[in-house]
Amino acid sequence: MSSMYLSVNTHQSQTLSPRLQRAVQLLQMSSLDFAAMVRSKVGENPFLEEEDLEANAGEPAATDAPAQDSEFTREDSFASDRDIWLADGSTGRRLKDSEDSSAMDLTASDTTLAMHLRTQVNVMPLSSRDLYLAQAIIESLDDDGYLRTSLEELAQLLPLTPPPLIEELTIALRLVQSLDPAGVGARDVRECLMLQCSRIEDTFLRRIAKNIIEHHLDKLAARDVGKLSKVLEQPAAHIEAAIACIRRLNPRPGWSVGTSRTDYIVPDVIVRRSQGSWDVQLNPAVIPRVRMNKVYEELFQRHRRKEHAELADHLQDARWTLRNVAQRFSTILDVAQAIVRKQHLFLEFGAMAMKPLLLREIADEIGVHESTVSRVTNNKYMATPLGVFELKYFFSRPMLSASGKACSATAIRELISDIIAAESPAQPLSDGKITDQLAMQGLVVARRTVTKYRQLLQIAPVEKRRRYF
């Protein structure tokens, strides 16, 4: 008969406190997310405040001549500028002081595809019904400029009496398709490209291009010049020239209208050449300008009571926030400086001189855990004379050459890119031949590895790189 009993075992294990877990999360954030978090802390914590940079700026130097002696005084200049600022650029009238206006009222608004098309149809001599149908089709276009809704479905959605006929909508669609940009209003890629074929100036190439788009779009996508040449009974050079004309057409005409928004990368670290060495500095633009509000801190310490527990928590959180800000950027700078010391040849000679580098090497050099280096290199960027790179770009596992020396994967990818760039367009190199050329230079790389690196470089396979000019 088994008996039941209790036993106590002790063992040691490492656990992260909530504050340390929070510090780890903050270290992994991108600069944009981290700055947003700090701004949020400033907004909710009375002990934190943003530094006022303008308050520290010096007073402007005074001139010898007094302002009232000049014919055109500073006050007159301000008044003139104000009159220009308050003027309405579209009508030339001056806005009155009593009118509600702001700087945002004078900024240019973004032009959308629908606005661009409506501007064109509104000046056409159309009846109110035809104009309504054309505008209904315009409003149904997606951002690419395509009409994804069928005319039958659109006819059921329009509240017109009598209901619109398919023939009427077809006429309205043809009207929209005649507008700028060319290709807008198409229902698929084939129709979009056909609408733009008139842009091909050479009539002979235009005829070949129309035939390819209308009947052999699948072969065009596969860039199968050989089959197209055989089916159309045209020399490969003519097919290649027609394909080049097609590739200049825009499969997404809607993208050509409106304000294009570009997402810019703000580097965390800036590397410059200074007196024969590489100088690594934090980018001041990504460092939050936040500090402790000394007035509130002193008042709280002077009148601290038990019922002020919530304020005490805010004060402790403010201190931890400032400590995390300092620790985060100190760690980023340490990691960046260690990377530059290891990869200084890359900064001098380019990607071909990139050395193999592991996270463990940087961790051992600066005295932190390998996981800390991994978090620092995620979503952090370094600006160098060669461009802006993510910190993890500088890390790659070593690959041994025939001589036994280690070579980085980044250098091999750059070498593959150079080999393909120097190949003959009529006789491009297969992945196997690229492997042979690498072997001739003492680099033993498997063919599947070459294929993987070629795909990472977004380079097409050999058949799609072949040219017949």
Residue at which a domain ends, from 376, 394, 412: 394
Are 221 and 304 part of one and the same domain? no
* Domain-located, residue 59: no
Residue at which a domain ends, from 394, 409, 433: 394
- For 22, 81, 114, 328, 332, the CA distances from 362, given in Å and listed in that order, are 23, 56, 53, 16, 12
User: What is the distance between the alpha carbons of residues 79 and 147, in angstroms, rounded to a whole number?
Assistant: 52
* Domain-located, residue 153: yes
Are 425 and 334 part of one and the same domain? no
Are 287 and 220 part of one and the same domain? no
Q: Supply 152's token pair.
A: 């039958």
pTM given for the model: 0.60
Residue at which a domain ends, from 394, 422, 450: 394
Are 390 and 366 part of one and the same domain? yes
Q: Which domain holds residue 224?
A: 189-256
Cβ neighbours, 10 Å, residue 225: 21
User: What is the distance between the alpha carbons of residues 112 and 106, in angstroms, rounded to a whole number?
Assistant: 18
Q: Quick one: which of 187, 182, 193 has its CA closest to 142?
A: 187
Q: Supply 315's token pair.
A: 């004060």
HSE-up (13 A, CA, CB side) for residue 312: 9
* DSSP letter for each residue of 187-200: SSHHHHHHHHGGG-
Strands 277-282 and 269-274: antiparallel
For residue 125, the Cα-to-chain-centroid distance in whole angstroms is 43
pLDDT of residue 2: 56
pLDDT of residue 445: 87
Q: Supply 17's token pair.
A: 């406190």
Are 231 and 137 part of one and the same domain? no
Residue 381 φ then ψ, to 5°: -130, 150
Are 282 and 384 part of one and the same domain? yes
* Domain-located, residue 83: no
Which residues of the chain carry a pLDDT beneath 70? Answer: 1-5, 7, 9-20, 52-110, 258-263, 307, 401-404, 468-469
Q: At what angle do helices 409-421 and 447-456 cross, to 10 degrees?
A: 80
HSE-up (13 A, CA, CB side) for residue 449: 14
* Domain-located, residue 94: no
Question: What type of residue is 137?
Answer: I
Q: Quick one: which of 403, 406, 402 has its CA closest to 358?
A: 406
pLDDT of residue 404: 67
Contacts of 420 (CB under 8 A, 6+ apart): 428, 429, 434, 454, 459, 465
pLDDT of residue 93: 45
Strands 290-292 and 277-282: unpaired
Cβ neighbours, 10 Å, residue 8: 4
Are 221 and 300 part of one and the same domain? no
| The residue to which tokens 């700078």 are assigned | 333
For residue 371, the Cα-to-chain-centroid distance in whole angstroms is 27
For 38, counting Cβ atoms within 10 Å of its Cβ (0-12 exposed, 13-18 middle, 19+ buried), the class is: buried
Are 380 and 278 part of one and the same domain? yes
What is the chain's length? 469
pLDDT of residue 13: 55
How is residue 107 annotated by DSSP? S
Q: How many domains does the chain have?
A: 4
Are 374 and 461 part of one and the same domain? no
CATH code assigned at 427: 1.10.10.60
For 346, counting Cβ atoms within 10 Å of its Cβ (0-12 exposed, 13-18 middle, 19+ buried), the class is: buried
Are 390 and 419 part of one and the same domain? no
Cβ neighbours, 10 Å, residue 10: 4
Question: What type of residue is 292?
Answer: M
pLDDT of residue 340: 94
* Domain-located, residue 312: yes
* Domain-located, residue 10: no
pLDDT of residue 59: 44
* Domain-located, residue 449: yes
pLDDT of residue 468: 59
Are 378 and 403 part of one and the same domain? no
Are 155 and 236 part of one and the same domain? no
User: What is the distance between the alpha carbons of residues 209 and 246, in angstroms, rounded to a whole number?
Assistant: 7
* Domain-located, residue 183: no
